Amino acid sequence: MTELPERRLMLVHAHPDDESINNGATMARYTAEGAHVTLVTCTLGERGEVIPPELRHLSGPALGGHRLGELREAMAALGVTDFRLLGGAGRYSDSGMMGLPDNDDPGCFWQADVDQAAGLLAEVVLDVRPQVLVTYDDNGGYGHPDHIQAHRVATRAVELAAGRGWDVPKVYWNRIPRSVAEEAFARLERDLHALPFDKSASVQDVPGVVDDGRITTAVDGTAYAGAKAAAMRAHATQITVADQPYFVLSNELAQPLFTTEYYELVRGERPAGREDDLFAGVATGAAS
């Protein structure tokens, strides 16, 4: 078996594009520093809304296949070579937004047996043996069923892996401190006239915003802003990125593009102050 680097980071996300928006700078930074970064994506986002008119004919499996290509391009921009689809391509399909009939599709991720899906993810955890795992909070950041399910599956996979010989030392949830979000949106209001977007989103539209006191970790990815923007642009069906640090999703509401990325430590010893490294305080060593 190939020996992996001393520091190993795993991220569990619901759809292609979630990783670049939430953690693109973090992924690029740790990859550049020599850590092993593993992304596990739970669905192909077959029910995502498509932005470019010339691609709106894509739906279902055809859209999923296209978004897999976007994911490959995004990972190349971030320097990540280890990215996997939970259970293989097409094992779990996109569940659509909460409350839609799509949620009842027996093949969608929302309907997946949590223990079964977690068992598949636990196999990846045991393969990589990460010291750090990043995923969403129990509301999935903003209530999307696939994000909620990704949280449940990741949490259960950590438990299963611990029972089989690898106890992940640190688990984080994606976060944005409220003060940072408010400052960024104030700046966006001032810049909006110069952007190719007509309207602004609000702080309430951004997943994972919490009071500053809940933030345990801030990863400065400023040096990797270009890589994050390139990865987001690769997800062209879902994201439009401006030259300035702003972007829109299919709702066409401008949002800030954050290059310092924030986290809440939920497994492991909480630090006395704010960390600047996801690996702070954990023993590292090669895995083979």
| Whole-angstrom distance, CA of residue 64 vs CA of residue 93 | 9
Q: Any bridge partners for residue 267, and if so which? A: 171
Q: Any bridge partners for residue 132, and if so which? A: 9, 170
| Whole-angstrom distance, CA of residue 220 vs CA of residue 199 | 28
**Spatial contact of 33 and 224, defined as CB atoms under 8 Å apart:** no
- Picking from 266, 284, 281, 270, the residue whose alpha carbon sits closest to that of residue 135 is 266
| Whole-angstrom distance, CA of residue 215 vs CA of residue 261 | 10
Tally the C-alpha atoms within 13 A of residue 212's C-alpha that lie toward its C-beta. Answer: 8
- Binding-site residues for Zn(2+) sit at 15, 18, 147
Residues in Cβ contact with 106 at an 8 Å cutoff, skipping those fewer than 6 apart: none
| Whole-angstrom distance, CA of residue 128 vs CA of residue 6 | 11
Angle at 226 between CA 276 and CA 146, to 5 degrees: 70
**Spatial contact of 69 and 41, defined as CB atoms under 8 Å apart:** no
- Binding-site residues sit at 15, 18, 147
